Protein backbone atom coordinates (compact mmCIF):
# COMPACT_ATOMS: atom_id res chain seq x y z
CA UNK A 1 0.00 0.00 0.00
CA UNK A 2 2.83 2.40 0.84
CA UNK A 3 4.49 1.65 -2.50
CA UNK A 4 1.48 3.04 -4.36
CA UNK A 5 1.81 6.47 -2.73
CA UNK A 6 5.61 6.49 -2.70
CA UNK A 7 5.92 6.38 1.09
CA UNK A 8 7.76 3.09 1.37
CA UNK A 9 11.51 3.72 2.00
CA UNK A 10 12.95 2.24 -1.17
CA UNK A 11 16.73 1.78 -1.16
CA UNK A 12 17.05 2.62 -4.87
CA UNK A 13 13.89 4.51 -5.91
CA UNK A 14 13.17 5.28 -9.54
CA UNK A 15 12.48 8.81 -10.77
CA UNK A 16 8.77 8.03 -11.09
CA UNK A 17 8.75 6.74 -7.51
CA UNK A 18 10.42 9.95 -6.32
CA UNK A 19 7.71 11.97 -8.09
CA UNK A 20 4.99 9.96 -6.30
CA UNK A 21 6.75 10.54 -3.00
CA UNK A 22 7.01 14.29 -3.65
CA UNK A 23 3.33 14.59 -4.62
CA UNK A 24 2.24 12.67 -1.51
CA UNK A 25 4.31 14.88 0.78
CA UNK A 26 3.15 18.05 -0.99
CA UNK A 27 -0.54 17.16 -0.62
CA UNK A 28 -0.14 16.09 3.02
CA UNK A 29 1.84 19.14 4.10
CA UNK A 30 -0.37 21.57 2.17
CA UNK A 31 -3.52 20.14 3.78
CA UNK A 32 -1.91 20.24 7.24
CA UNK A 33 -0.80 23.87 6.76
CA UNK A 34 -4.21 25.09 5.53
CA UNK A 35 -5.99 23.34 8.41
CA UNK A 36 -3.55 24.85 10.90
CA UNK A 37 -4.14 28.31 9.41
CA UNK A 38 -7.88 27.80 9.81
CA UNK A 39 -7.36 26.85 13.47
CA UNK A 40 -5.43 30.10 13.98
CA UNK A 41 -8.21 32.06 12.25
CA UNK A 42 -10.87 30.48 14.50
CA UNK A 43 -8.91 30.72 17.75
CA UNK A 44 -11.42 33.18 19.25
CA UNK A 45 -14.52 31.28 18.08
CA UNK A 46 -14.79 28.30 20.41
CA UNK A 47 -17.41 26.33 18.46
CA UNK A 48 -15.77 26.84 15.06
CA UNK A 49 -12.36 26.05 16.53
CA UNK A 50 -13.61 22.75 17.90
CA UNK A 51 -15.17 21.91 14.53
CA UNK A 52 -11.84 22.12 12.68
CA UNK A 53 -9.61 20.89 15.52
CA UNK A 54 -10.58 17.19 15.38
CA UNK A 55 -9.61 17.05 11.70
CA UNK A 56 -6.45 19.11 12.04
CA UNK A 57 -4.98 17.03 14.87
CA UNK A 58 -5.49 13.78 12.96
CA UNK A 59 -3.77 15.17 9.85
CA UNK A 60 -0.99 16.68 11.98
CA UNK A 61 -0.46 13.38 13.80
CA UNK A 62 -0.15 11.60 10.46
CA UNK A 63 2.46 14.12 9.25
CA UNK A 64 4.46 13.57 12.46
CA UNK A 65 4.19 9.78 12.08
CA UNK A 66 5.27 9.95 8.44
CA UNK A 67 8.17 12.30 9.24
CA UNK A 68 9.34 10.05 12.08
CA UNK A 69 9.13 7.00 9.83
CA UNK A 70 11.06 8.83 7.13
CA UNK A 71 13.79 9.63 9.65
CA UNK A 72 13.85 6.01 10.85
CA UNK A 73 13.65 4.46 7.37
CA UNK A 74 17.00 2.64 7.65
CA UNK A 75 15.99 1.07 10.96
CA UNK A 76 12.61 0.11 9.49
CA UNK A 77 14.28 -1.69 6.58
CA UNK A 78 16.59 -3.39 9.09
CA UNK A 79 13.52 -4.71 10.94
CA UNK A 80 11.91 -5.97 7.73
CA UNK A 81 15.10 -7.77 6.73
CA UNK A 82 15.54 -9.19 10.24
CA UNK A 83 12.09 -10.80 10.03
CA UNK A 84 13.53 -13.02 7.28
CA UNK A 85 16.19 -14.39 9.65
CA UNK A 86 16.24 -18.22 9.80
CA UNK A 87 15.75 -18.13 13.58
CA UNK A 88 12.14 -16.99 13.01
CA UNK A 89 11.54 -19.83 10.54
CA UNK A 90 13.07 -22.75 12.46
CA UNK A 91 10.16 -24.26 14.35
CA UNK A 92 8.17 -27.53 14.10
CA UNK A 93 5.32 -27.69 11.60
CA UNK A 94 2.80 -28.28 14.39
CA UNK A 95 3.51 -24.75 15.68
CA UNK A 96 2.87 -23.08 12.34
CA UNK A 97 -0.75 -22.44 13.34
CA UNK A 98 0.44 -19.58 15.60
CA UNK A 99 1.88 -17.68 12.65
CA UNK A 100 -1.11 -18.56 10.45
CA UNK A 101 -3.43 -17.18 13.15
CA UNK A 102 -1.41 -13.95 13.32
CA UNK A 103 -1.62 -13.53 9.54
CA UNK A 104 -5.39 -14.12 9.56
CA UNK A 105 -5.91 -11.61 12.36
CA UNK A 106 -3.73 -8.98 10.71
CA UNK A 107 -5.52 -9.46 7.38
CA UNK A 108 -8.97 -9.23 8.98
CA UNK A 109 -8.09 -6.12 11.00
CA UNK A 110 -6.42 -4.46 8.01
CA UNK A 111 -9.46 -5.11 5.80
CA UNK A 112 -11.93 -3.85 8.43
CA UNK A 113 -9.80 -0.77 9.00
CA UNK A 114 -9.36 -0.22 5.25
CA UNK A 115 -13.11 -0.41 4.56
CA UNK A 116 -13.95 1.98 7.41
CA UNK A 117 -11.35 4.48 6.15
CA UNK A 118 -12.72 4.09 2.62
CA UNK A 119 -16.23 4.87 3.86
CA UNK A 120 -14.87 7.89 5.72
CA UNK A 121 -13.25 9.26 2.55
CA UNK A 122 -16.48 8.76 0.56
CA UNK A 123 -18.55 10.47 3.25
CA UNK A 124 -16.15 13.42 3.35
CA UNK A 125 -16.68 13.68 -0.41
CA UNK A 126 -20.48 13.40 -0.28
CA UNK A 127 -21.51 15.32 2.85
CA UNK A 128 -20.52 18.84 1.64
CA UNK A 129 -22.50 18.24 -1.55
CA UNK A 130 -25.59 17.08 0.37
CA UNK A 131 -25.32 19.85 2.99
CA UNK A 132 -24.48 22.49 0.34
CA UNK A 133 -21.07 23.34 1.79
CA UNK A 134 -18.19 24.51 -0.43
CA UNK A 135 -15.49 22.21 1.03
CA UNK A 136 -15.13 19.02 3.09
CA UNK A 137 -12.92 20.96 5.57
CA UNK A 138 -13.02 24.66 6.48
CA UNK A 139 -10.57 26.70 4.38
CA UNK A 140 -8.81 29.88 5.64
CA UNK A 141 -9.43 31.93 2.46
CA UNK A 142 -12.37 32.81 0.23
CA UNK A 143 -11.47 31.39 -3.19
CA UNK A 144 -14.49 32.45 -5.24
CA UNK A 145 -14.35 30.80 -8.67
CA UNK A 146 -11.53 28.50 -7.50
CA UNK A 147 -13.75 26.69 -5.01
CA UNK A 148 -13.88 23.60 -7.22
CA UNK A 149 -10.09 23.26 -7.23
CA UNK A 150 -9.92 23.64 -3.45
CA UNK A 151 -12.63 20.99 -3.12
CA UNK A 152 -10.61 18.55 -5.26
CA UNK A 153 -7.41 19.42 -3.38
CA UNK A 154 -9.01 18.70 0.01
CA UNK A 155 -10.56 15.43 -1.12
CA UNK A 156 -7.36 14.16 -2.78
CA UNK A 157 -5.15 15.45 0.05
CA UNK A 158 -7.41 13.94 2.69
CA UNK A 159 -7.53 10.62 0.84
CA UNK A 160 -3.72 10.62 0.54
CA UNK A 161 -3.30 11.28 4.28
CA UNK A 162 -5.87 8.64 5.21
CA UNK A 163 -4.31 6.04 2.87
CA UNK A 164 -0.77 6.54 4.16
CA UNK A 165 -1.90 6.77 7.78
CA UNK A 166 -3.75 3.48 7.35
CA UNK A 167 -0.60 1.94 5.83
CA UNK A 168 1.61 3.04 8.73
CA UNK A 169 -0.89 1.72 11.29
CA UNK A 170 -1.28 -1.69 9.64
CA UNK A 171 2.49 -1.97 9.10
CA UNK A 172 3.28 -1.48 12.78
CA UNK A 173 0.44 -3.64 14.11
CA UNK A 174 1.35 -6.44 11.69
CA UNK A 175 4.94 -6.45 12.98
CA UNK A 176 3.58 -6.44 16.54
CA UNK A 177 1.37 -9.40 15.61
CA UNK A 178 4.41 -11.28 14.28
CA UNK A 179 6.24 -10.54 17.56
CA UNK A 180 3.35 -11.99 19.58
CA UNK A 181 3.20 -15.05 17.29
CA UNK A 182 6.94 -15.66 17.72
CA UNK A 183 6.47 -15.60 21.51
CA UNK A 184 3.69 -18.17 21.12
CA UNK A 185 5.99 -20.34 19.02
CA UNK A 186 8.75 -20.04 21.63
CA UNK A 187 6.29 -21.13 24.34
CA UNK A 188 5.21 -24.06 22.18
CA UNK A 189 8.80 -25.22 21.70
CA UNK A 190 9.54 -25.00 25.44
CA UNK A 191 6.37 -26.87 26.41
CA UNK A 192 7.05 -29.54 23.78
CA UNK A 193 10.58 -30.15 25.06
CA UNK A 194 9.51 -30.00 28.71
CA UNK A 195 7.02 -32.83 28.24
CA UNK A 196 9.67 -35.26 27.01
CA UNK A 197 10.84 -37.98 29.37
CA UNK A 198 14.42 -39.26 29.65
CA UNK A 199 15.37 -42.87 30.34
CA UNK A 200 18.67 -43.74 32.02
CA UNK A 201 20.15 -45.34 28.90
CA UNK A 202 19.88 -42.37 26.54
CA UNK A 203 19.88 -39.58 29.12
CA UNK A 204 23.26 -38.13 28.15
CA UNK A 205 22.42 -38.09 24.45
CA UNK A 206 19.00 -36.58 25.16
CA UNK A 207 20.53 -33.90 27.39
CA UNK A 208 22.93 -32.87 24.64
CA UNK A 209 20.11 -32.70 22.10
CA UNK A 210 17.89 -30.74 24.50
CA UNK A 211 20.71 -28.35 25.41
CA UNK A 212 21.24 -27.64 21.74
CA UNK A 213 17.53 -26.95 21.21
CA UNK A 214 17.32 -24.80 24.33
CA UNK A 215 20.29 -22.77 23.14
CA UNK A 216 18.29 -22.10 19.96
CA UNK A 217 15.36 -21.05 22.17
CA UNK A 218 17.61 -18.60 24.03
CA UNK A 219 18.73 -17.13 20.69
CA UNK A 220 15.11 -17.04 19.53
CA UNK A 221 14.08 -15.20 22.70
CA UNK A 222 16.92 -12.69 22.28
CA UNK A 223 15.85 -12.11 18.67
CA UNK A 224 12.25 -11.41 19.73
CA UNK A 225 13.47 -9.01 22.44
CA UNK A 226 15.58 -7.14 19.87
CA UNK A 227 12.65 -7.03 17.44
CA UNK A 228 10.33 -5.60 20.10
CA UNK A 229 12.89 -2.98 21.13
CA UNK A 230 13.54 -1.96 17.51
CA UNK A 231 9.82 -1.59 16.76
CA UNK A 232 9.48 0.72 19.76
CA UNK A 233 12.44 2.86 18.67
CA UNK A 234 11.10 3.28 15.13
CA UNK A 235 7.46 4.03 15.96
CA UNK A 236 7.51 5.58 19.45
CA UNK A 237 7.35 9.25 18.34
CA UNK A 238 4.49 8.46 15.98
CA UNK A 239 2.67 6.70 18.81
CA UNK A 240 2.91 9.83 20.96
CA UNK A 241 1.40 11.88 18.13
CA UNK A 242 -1.32 9.25 17.67
CA UNK A 243 -2.31 9.15 21.34
CA UNK A 244 -2.40 12.94 21.61
CA UNK A 245 -4.52 13.20 18.46
CA UNK A 246 -6.85 10.44 19.69
CA UNK A 247 -7.59 12.28 22.95
CA UNK A 248 -8.21 15.64 21.24
CA UNK A 249 -9.99 14.16 18.23
CA UNK A 250 -12.29 11.89 20.22
CA UNK A 251 -13.51 14.55 22.64
CA UNK A 252 -14.09 17.09 19.85
CA UNK A 253 -15.96 14.56 17.71
CA UNK A 254 -18.30 13.61 20.56
CA UNK A 255 -18.70 17.31 21.37
CA UNK A 256 -20.16 17.88 17.91
CA UNK A 257 -22.45 14.87 18.31
CA UNK A 258 -23.90 16.57 21.39
CA UNK A 259 -24.39 19.90 19.59
CA UNK A 260 -26.16 18.47 16.54
CA UNK A 261 -29.95 18.91 16.88
CA UNK A 262 -30.78 16.24 14.29
CA UNK A 263 -29.20 13.47 12.24
CA UNK A 264 -27.64 14.89 9.08
CA UNK A 265 -25.07 13.71 6.56
CA UNK A 266 -22.42 15.41 8.69
CA UNK A 267 -23.57 13.38 11.70
CA UNK A 268 -23.12 10.14 9.71
CA UNK A 269 -19.70 11.32 8.56
CA UNK A 270 -18.65 12.17 12.12
CA UNK A 271 -19.92 8.82 13.38
CA UNK A 272 -17.80 6.99 10.81
CA UNK A 273 -14.83 9.22 11.65
CA UNK A 274 -15.28 8.37 15.34
CA UNK A 275 -15.36 4.63 14.54
CA UNK A 276 -12.14 4.96 12.53
CA UNK A 277 -10.46 6.71 15.47
CA UNK A 278 -11.54 3.95 17.85
CA UNK A 279 -10.32 1.17 15.55
CA UNK A 280 -7.03 2.98 14.99
CA UNK A 281 -6.32 3.35 18.71
CA UNK A 282 -7.70 -0.04 19.73
CA UNK A 283 -5.55 -2.13 17.36
CA UNK A 284 -2.38 -0.51 18.72
CA UNK A 285 -3.40 -1.17 22.33
CA UNK A 286 -4.69 -4.68 21.63
CA UNK A 287 -1.51 -5.84 19.90
CA UNK A 288 0.59 -4.20 22.62
CA UNK A 289 -1.43 -6.08 25.23
CA UNK A 290 -0.89 -9.35 23.32
CA UNK A 291 2.90 -8.87 23.44
CA UNK A 292 2.77 -8.34 27.22
CA UNK A 293 0.65 -11.46 27.80
CA UNK A 294 2.67 -13.70 25.46
CA UNK A 295 5.98 -12.63 27.00
CA UNK A 296 4.65 -13.55 30.46
CA UNK A 297 3.62 -16.96 29.12
CA UNK A 298 7.23 -17.65 28.09
CA UNK A 299 8.25 -17.49 31.75
CA UNK A 300 5.31 -19.69 32.74
CA UNK A 301 6.37 -22.28 30.15
CA UNK A 302 9.83 -22.35 31.74
CA UNK A 303 8.33 -22.97 35.20
CA UNK A 304 6.46 -25.98 33.80
CA UNK A 305 9.66 -27.37 32.29
CA UNK A 306 10.88 -30.53 34.11
CA UNK A 307 14.50 -29.38 34.10
CA UNK A 308 15.32 -31.39 37.23
CA UNK A 309 15.03 -34.60 35.18
CA UNK A 310 17.88 -33.41 32.94
CA UNK A 311 21.49 -32.32 33.24
CA UNK A 312 22.83 -29.02 34.58
CA UNK A 313 23.29 -27.51 31.09
CA UNK A 314 19.55 -27.82 30.47
CA UNK A 315 18.77 -26.03 33.73
CA UNK A 316 21.21 -23.25 32.84
CA UNK A 317 19.41 -22.40 29.59
CA UNK A 318 15.99 -22.59 31.26
CA UNK A 319 17.25 -20.22 33.96
CA UNK A 320 18.43 -17.72 31.32
CA UNK A 321 15.02 -17.61 29.64
CA UNK A 322 13.21 -17.40 33.00
CA UNK A 323 15.32 -14.46 34.14
CA UNK A 324 14.73 -12.56 30.88
CA UNK A 325 10.99 -13.25 31.16
CA UNK A 326 10.66 -11.67 34.61
CA UNK A 327 10.28 -8.28 32.94
CA UNK A 328 7.46 -8.61 30.36
CA UNK A 329 8.08 -7.26 26.89
CA UNK A 330 6.09 -4.16 26.00
CA UNK A 331 6.04 -1.23 23.61
CA UNK A 332 6.00 2.19 25.21
CA UNK A 333 4.98 5.63 24.01
CA UNK A 334 8.30 7.50 24.47
CA UNK A 335 8.58 5.75 27.88
CA UNK A 336 5.50 7.62 29.17
CA UNK A 337 2.97 4.80 28.97
CA UNK A 338 2.69 1.25 27.66
CA UNK A 339 0.53 0.00 24.80
CA UNK A 340 -2.14 -2.10 26.50
CA UNK A 341 -5.90 -2.35 26.91
CA UNK A 342 -5.55 -0.49 30.22
CA UNK A 343 -3.97 2.39 28.29
CA UNK A 344 -6.89 2.33 25.83
CA UNK A 345 -9.29 2.82 28.75
CA UNK A 346 -7.06 5.59 30.11
CA UNK A 347 -7.28 7.44 26.78
CA UNK A 348 -11.06 7.08 26.86
CA UNK A 349 -11.15 8.57 30.37
CA UNK A 350 -8.94 11.48 29.32
CA UNK A 351 -11.17 12.09 26.30
CA UNK A 352 -14.22 12.15 28.56
CA UNK A 353 -12.51 14.65 30.87
CA UNK A 354 -11.71 16.89 27.90
CA UNK A 355 -15.29 16.55 26.66
CA UNK A 356 -16.66 17.62 30.04
CA UNK A 357 -14.38 20.66 29.96
CA UNK A 358 -15.50 21.55 26.41
CA UNK A 359 -19.18 21.32 27.37
CA UNK A 360 -18.64 23.52 30.42
CA UNK A 361 -16.79 26.12 28.31
CA UNK A 362 -19.56 25.99 25.71
CA UNK A 363 -22.26 26.54 28.33
CA UNK A 364 -20.32 29.50 29.70
CA UNK A 365 -19.99 31.00 26.21
CA UNK A 366 -23.72 30.58 25.54
CA UNK A 367 -24.62 32.31 28.83
CA UNK A 368 -22.31 35.23 28.05
CA UNK A 369 -23.93 35.68 24.63
Whether the Cβ atoms of residue 2 and residue 164 lie closer than 8 Å to each other = yes
R_g of the chain, CA atoms, integer Å:
25
**Alpha-carbon span 184 to 96, nearest angstrom:** 10
pLDDT score of 195? 64
Phi-psi map region of 329: left, alpha, beta (phi>0 left; psi -120 to 50 alpha): beta
**Domain count across the chain:** 1
Measuring CA to CA, which residue among 153, 165, 162, 150 is closest to residue 269? Answer: 162
pLDDT in tens, 28-46: 999 999 988 888 888 877 7
Can you give the residue range of the structural domain that contains 336?
2-368
pLDDT score of 206? 66
pLDDT score of 293? 92
DSSP helix, strand, coil percent of the chain (3-state; round to 5): 80, 0, 20
Which are the contacts of 143, defined by CB distance < 8 A and separation ≥ 6? 149, 150
pLDDT score of 300? 85
Question: What string of pLDDT tens digits covers the 369 residues of the chain?
Answer: 677 777 787 778 888 888 888 988 999 999 999 988 888 888 877 777 877 888 888 899 999 999 998 899 889 999 999 988 888 888 878 888 888 888 888 888 888 888 988 888 888 888 888 877 877 777 777 777 788 888 888 888 888 888 889 889 999 999 999 999 999 998 888 887 766 655 544 555 566 778 888 888 889 999 999 999 999 999 999 999 999 998 888 888 888 888 777 777 778 888 888 888 889 999 999 999 999 999 999 888 888 776 666 667 777 888 888 888 888 999 999 888 899 999 999 988 888 888 888 888 877 777 766
- β-bridge mates for residue 332, sequence order: 338
**Alpha-carbon span 151 to 169, nearest angstrom:** 27
Q: Are strands 332-333 and 337-338 parallel, antiparallel or unpaired?
A: antiparallel
pLDDT score of 201? 47
Amino acid sequence: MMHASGFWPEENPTQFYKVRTFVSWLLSLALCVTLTMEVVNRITDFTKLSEILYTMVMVASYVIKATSLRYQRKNLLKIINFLKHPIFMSYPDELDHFMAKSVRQSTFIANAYRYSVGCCIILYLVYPIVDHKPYPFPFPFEMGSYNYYIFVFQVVGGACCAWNNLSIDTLMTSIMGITAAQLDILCGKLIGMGNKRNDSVSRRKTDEDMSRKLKQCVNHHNAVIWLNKSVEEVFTVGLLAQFTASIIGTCNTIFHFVLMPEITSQFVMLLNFFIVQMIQLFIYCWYGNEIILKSVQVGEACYKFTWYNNGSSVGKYIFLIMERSKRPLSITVVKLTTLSLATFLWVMRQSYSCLALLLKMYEKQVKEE
